[in-house]
């Protein structure tokens, strides 16, 4: 019987070691994937920043080409005058009492629409989190896909 006891203990210890190796291997794989993903994100951020800088430089070069062209400058003056006339006419129409009411109504409705869209976004994220489903059927019977749009924004330095 003494010979059987150590064998059973050894088997249990061996089983625990295998289990730990499997867990640590799985954790190692997850860590590797996470580090690779983080590096991929950093590379893309750098690439995007570089492309933005290059685009800005080329856009400025193109703008300079327009500013140095005499025909373009003449057309710009004519366009500015037309824009001034258009703006004056628009202000005159907007100041009419009925149109002031309409303008305020449009601003109010636009604000309400933005608030409702933000609330819907929050509701959809919670629905998606709770159900694990990326689709929802509306009252009209149409199936809509829930789309998340993540982006990265530079953090403001603390003062």
Where are the domains positioned within the chain? 1-68
* Residue 60 in this model has a pLDDT that exceeds 90: yes
CA distance 87 to 90: 5
Residue where the block lists tokens 């998340």: 148
Q: Report yes or no: 136 and 124 within 8 Å, Cβ to Cβ.
A: yes
Q: What pLDDT is recorded for position 144?
A: 93
pLDDT in tens, 80-113: 999 999 999 999 999 999 999 999 999 999 999 9
CA distance 14 to 12: 5
């Amino acid at each position: 019987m003494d010979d059987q006891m150590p064998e059973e203990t050894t088997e249990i210890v061996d089983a625990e070691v295998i289990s730990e190796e499997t867990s640590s291997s799985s954790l190692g794989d997850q860590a590797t994937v996470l580090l690779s993903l983080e590096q991929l994100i950093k590379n893309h951020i750098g690439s995007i920043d570089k492309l933005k800088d290059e685009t800005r430089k080329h856009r400025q070069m193109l703008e300079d080409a327009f500013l140095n062209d005499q025909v373009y400058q003449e057309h710009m003056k004519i366009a500015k005058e037309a824009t001034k006339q258009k703006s004056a006419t628009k202000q005159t129409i907007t100041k009419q009492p009925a149109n002031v009411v309409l303008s305020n109504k449009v601003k109010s409705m636009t604000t309400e629409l933005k608030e409702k869209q933000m609330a819907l976004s929050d509701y959809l994220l919670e629905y998606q989190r709770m159900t694990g489903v990326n689709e929802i059927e509306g009252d009209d019977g149409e199936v809509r896909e829930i789309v998340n749009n993540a982006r990265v924004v530079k953090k403001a330095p603390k003062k």
